[in-house]
Amino acid sequence: MVDWIKVFDLNQKGLWFSVSISIILFLLMLFLPKKNINWVGIYFTFPIISLITWLIDTSLFIPFDLLDLGNPHVEGVGDVLLFTFVPASLSCLFLNYFVEKRRWLLTIIFTIISLSIELGLMWTNYLVLHGWHTIYSLIVYLSVFGFLLPLHRKILTNYTRPNY
């Protein structure tokens, strides 16, 4: 039993922040009224974004040791929650409020939210950057919210409409 607890890294400093932000964003995504995304959109968006996040983590961040979340030697529960729920929930929330005329305003708002989460993780010492810099994150967030998620939405609306 003690080995199981060590694997999940439950004593890591700053774990409370990663768990809290993951739960809050997931609950917001579930319970806020759906405006521009329906459950089918969430059904497709959530696993796609989670998969992409995990692929980037395992192919870029881990091999090149660009950052550490929690204990650098253990994939803890906070890491799993952060990579699975935070980007996917933020993406679904973004798409829920996305309207083309407010594209860049929403992009800026969600970029600020994402950077705030990243800075909060660094402030609580849960995230330690090695070769990665926050400016890279800024570029990634602007690209994802400004271009990739609107493209994803376009694909979703083209392929999830019922054929009457």
pLDDT in tens, 95-130: 999 999 999 999 999 999 999 999 999 999 999 999
Q: Say how far apart CA 154 and CA 159 lie, in whole Å.
A: 9
pLDDT at position 163 is 54
pLDDT at position 8 is 60
pLDDT at position 11 is 67
Q: Say how far apart CA 142 and CA 145 lie, in whole Å.
A: 5
pLDDT at position 130 is 92
Q: Say how far apart CA 142 and CA 15 lie, in whole Å.
A: 27
- For 149, phi then psi, to 5°, come to -70, -40
pLDDT at position 128 is 93
Structure tokens at 137: 């994150």
Between the CA of residue 47 and those of 30, 55, 64, 80, what are the distances in Å?
Answer: 14, 12, 25, 14
pLDDT at position 69 is 87
Q: In the chain, count of helices (H) and strands (E)?
A: 7, 2
Can you give the pTM of this predicted structure?
A: 0.91
Q: Which amino acid is at 36?
A: N
Counting as low any pLDDT under 70, the low residues of the chain are 1-11, 161-164
